[in-house]
Each structure stands twice: as C-alpha cells, then as structure tokens.
Amino acid sequence: MNYQSKLKAGQVLGERYLIKRLIGSGGMSCVYLAEDLRLPGKRWAVKENAGIGPEYDDMAKEAELLVKLSHARLPRVVDYCLPDADGYCYLIMDYIDGVTLTQYMQQHPGPLPGRLILDLARQLLEVLLYLHAQQPPIVYRDLKPANVMLSESLSLTLIDFGIARSYAQGSLRETVNLGTAGFAAPEQYEAGPCLPAVDQYGLGAVLLYMATGGHETRWRSGMEARLRPVVDHGLIPVIRRLLRVHPDDRYPDAAAVLEAVEQVRSHSDPHGARQKMRIQPPHRSGQQPPTVAAVLGAAPGLGATHTSLALSVYLSGLGPTAWVDMNLESPVHERLQQMFGEETELLSPAGSEGAAFSWQNIHFWRPGAEGSLTGVHEAGYTYVVLDLGTGEGSGGLQLFAASELPLLVASGADWRLEETLRWLRRCGLAPQPKWNIGLPLAGPLAQKLLQEHIGLGRVLELPFQRDPFQRKGKLAGALRSVVSGASEMNAEAVGRGFFKI
C-alpha cells in the first residue's frame, strides 16, 4: 500500500512526541524519529500506518505482540495512538540508534568477515529462541537484512513485527503467508500454517546473503566452493540445512541450530588462525621513502584517532599504507586487532621492534620501546599515517612539523577557536603553508575566522562519519582535498622522511 503520510518534521503527535525526521518507509508504513517533550533528551521511533482495513489490523496485532514481549534484542512498545478520523494510527517504540544490516553491507562491500557472520547468527538465534518459546510460539516470518538493526558495537535488534504471528498447535489455517522474496521459505507461498521452521529458512538466507556480499539467498550448485574462502567450513553444512526446501529436513528447533553454530564458534579460534597467517610488509628495495601524514589533536576527545584511521583508509586506495599508533599508552592498536578478529594477519617485519597486523590492505603498527619505528621506514609503504594523539611523548610535535601531510584536529565550535590559538602559542609551532587544520562539524564561519587568524595553511571542515573505515562519503572527500593539496605543494616540501630526525 502506498499512501501520503500525515506526519512531518516539527509536528507534535499526541501532545507529546515531536517529529524530527523520516527514518524509514515501506509499502505499508512510515517510521519517524521523535523527541519526547515530557522526557527531554529521550528519542522514540514512531511507526505510522493508514487504513481501517487489514493494514490497521496488522498494526494492532504488532502492538499486541510487542507489548507482551521483553527481550534485549527486541524494541519495546511504549505507546499506541488509536486511529484518527482518517484512519491513521501510530505505534511508539524504542528508537534503535544504528543502521540496518542492508545499509551496513552497502557501507562494507563484499562478503562480511566469517567471525562476524557467526556472531550475528548467534544473536539472531537468541531472539528466535525467545520468540519460539512463547506460548503459543511466535513465528517472525520476515527475517531479512532490512529488519535487522546493528548498533555501533554490532549488537543487533530485530525490528518490524508487522507480519509476525502466534502459531497455535493444530491450527489448519493461516490467513496470509507474507514474506520477502528471496528470504521467505517455500512453504510461505502455499496455503497452510507457518511453523517456526519458517524462521530457520529466513536465517539461512540471511547468513548466505552476508557470506556472498549480498548476491545470494538460495542454495545453488557450487555454493559450497564459493563459501569455503569466506566462512568457517563448519558453518557451510549449517547454512545448507537451514535452506532445505522441506521444513522437516531443517533442524528440529532453534535450539538445535544454536548448538550447531556454537560448536562452529568453539572450533573457530581467531587467535590460532592468526598465528598461521604471517605475512611480510611490502618491502621493495631502492624505493623512495614514504609520504608521511601526521594527525595531531589540539585537545583530547576531538577525534584525532578517528580521523587518522579514516585517512589511512583513503590512502590505502592510492598505495600500500601503514597506520602507526604513536601513543605508547593507548589501547587502540590492541582493540582494533580484537575487533577485526580472525580477518587480521600478523606481520613479520624483519628487524622490527614493534607489533603489526594487516586488515583490508592496511598495516596497523604499534612502535617498539620509546616509540622506535625500526622496520616501518624499510617496509616500502607509499604512505605512513601517524596517530600522534595530543602529541605527548615520542616527539609528537616534532613528527607533526616534519611530516608532509600534517593534519591538526581542533574543535569546530566557534567559542573554542580562541582555545586553538592559545594551543598554537603554547606548543611553539608556527603554522606552515602545508598545514591542514580540520574542524569536526564546523560551519563556514568557524572556518573563516580561524583561517583569518592563522593566515598560512588550510582550514577545512571534517564532516561527521560514524565509521572511520567507510571508504566513501563526505569525510573521504575532505581528506581527499588534504592529499591533493599536499601533492600540489610537493615540489616545495622540505624533506620527505621523518625517520632522519
């Protein structure tokens, strides 16, 4: 059903919910972000549905289901607005801050990491176990990437219960077997009740979708060979069984699926896997020294590390790139290695005192004692990105001044510009033509004012981007201008390597 929404930004629903913006829409409903006027700072998702026919019945049943449920991976329903004179009704529920699995895969093209697929499979099975354990069991019936929300920490929430139904044992009829083509089980296209095995098929389709980079949802000839390089070999027969055409050929229940997935997880040791895959940095004798980019924060918490990672991602598309954590007290290097899991490969740099690993064509380094970078300058990188933090220790300010791509991250708030100028005077660094000063979320006025005060260098906005490893977007565009500006000044640059300091 396509209809004209009655809501718009600035409107207040039920004298309480201030509509901010549209965050999703489909053929049967729209979802808006709203602020609670009674609870300042609290945000909700408002789902709008129109019509007094089957569509209203669906929404009423969705509300009935969700009100009775309580699970960490399901949104709570907190309010329900009855149909108005035009037949529009509204469901107010938890706002899930994140992206759908569909959006996440668009931001990360290609098959998802095998360990992540296992983690998401376990999380989905947690909520399916809960739903199927209800009396009578609740069959979700529409498991697909668009209905899986992921938080920044990749914790998932299952949304949109518009077609979920309670299955009564012995029921001979099912009113409508809805589902999404490609993810719906074969029996959903037939008359008769939808059993919990329907959700097993949907799970298998989602797992296959993730493992093939969004290209496949049905088992085809030769699929096993395609999956071997991507997922743990033990997961392949699990996916195959979930996608069996006949429900009786799938697992007895969600608990049996979870047991099979956990068995695969227990035999998938990311640390052991990494130890078997040690690679060498891209050493090439006789090559000129790398171009060094140094990212420095004028104060803690401004996003210097975030920016340095985003810059590394952009530069890795131009040539072999290394990211170096120059803050010896920082846990970032270890956390990144844990986050990437089994997808990382340990580096074996000859004569290096530091630790390094590789992920998606970027080498992540942690210096040796006292910030020693022995081995990095001999590795043959085209670009080396230094995360200097706030410049404390390891000669951070000197490394920043000597680099060819110096990027100072300062506050973009108008009222903190004077703070940036005081920092420059205090540290004793004189702005240079090659300098770039990035202001997160700054407006044109802040850029103009700071540019007028420092004179030399360039001041630019650093647009917000939640994921620093996203290869496309406004932040990548801003960093592209940093690199291109440095290329234009390359002939006038003084010195190429910070290693000789």
Residue 472 annotated as lining a ligand binding site: no
- What fold characterizes domain 12-94? Phosphorylase Kinase; domain 1 (3.30.200)
Count CB neighbours of 269 within 10 A: 11
Q: How crowded is residue 391: how many other Cβ atoms within 10 Å of its Cβ?
A: 23
List the chain domain ranges: 12-94, 99-268, 278-500
Measured between alpha carbons, how far is 346 from 202 in angstroms, rounded to an integer? 36
Beta strands in 285-343 (DSSP E): 291-297, 321-325
pLDDT in tens, the chain (501 residues): 456 888 999 999 988 999 999 988 766 678 999 999 988 888 999 988 876 555 556 666 666 766 778 888 888 888 888 777 777 888 898 888 889 999 999 988 899 999 999 999 999 999 999 999 988 888 888 899 999 999 888 899 998 775 555 544 444 344 444 557 789 898 888 766 778 999 999 999 999 999 999 999 999 988 999 999 899 999 999 999 999 999 999 999 999 999 999 999 887 644 333 333 333 445 444 456 788 899 999 888 888 999 999 999 988 888 888 898 888 777 888 888 877 776 666 765 544 455 778 887 788 988 765 556 656 665 678 888 999 988 865 578 888 888 888 999 988 787 777 888 888 888 877 778 888 888 887 778 877 888 887 777 788 888 888 888 888 778 888 888 778 765 554 434 333 333 322
Domain 99-268 class in CATH: mainly alpha
Q: CA nearest 157: which of 66, 53, 236, 231? A: 66
Q: What is the DSSP string of 32-48?
A: EEEEESSSTT-EEEEEE
Contact 185, 202 (CB under 8 A): yes
Residue 103: count of CB within 10 angstroms of its CB: 14
Given CATH 3.40.50.300, say whether it is the number of domain 278-500.
yes
For the chain, the distance separating the N- and C-terminal CA atoms, rounded to the nearest angstrom, is 68
